[in-house]
Amino acid sequence: MGAKEILEHALRLKPEERFMVVEDLLKSLDEPNQELDTVWVEEAEKRLKAYREEKLNGIPLEEAFRE
């Protein structure tokens, strides 16, 4: 069954059932990804180390948001 058929079937559900489907679909997109989290932690640690060693300059938060 393809996405179009699933959508057609879902649209025939009662509103509360559709809400449950939507809620579960959204939750499934927000699941933690351990591999990606590990990559971000490593990158953050690398940047912090470079900043502390004065190999990387920081910029004020206000300036970052202006850009």
Mean pLDDT value across residues 40-65: 93
Q: What angle do CA 65, 32, 18 make, to 5 degrees?
A: 95
Encode pLDDT of 20-35 as tens digits: 999 999 998 888 889 9
Instruction: Please say if the pLDDT value at position 44 is more than 80.
Output: yes
The CA-atom distances, in angstroms, between 55 and each of 43, 47, 48, 58, 63 are 15, 9, 10, 10, 20
Q: Tell me how far apart the alpha carbons of residues 58 and 42 are, in angstroms, rounded to a whole number.
A: 18
Spell out the domain ranges in the chain: 1-31, 32-67
- For 47, residues 6+ apart whose C-beta sits below 8 A from its C-beta are 56
Instruction: Please say if the pLDDT value at position 58 is more than 80.
Output: yes
Mean pLDDT value across residues 2-18: 95
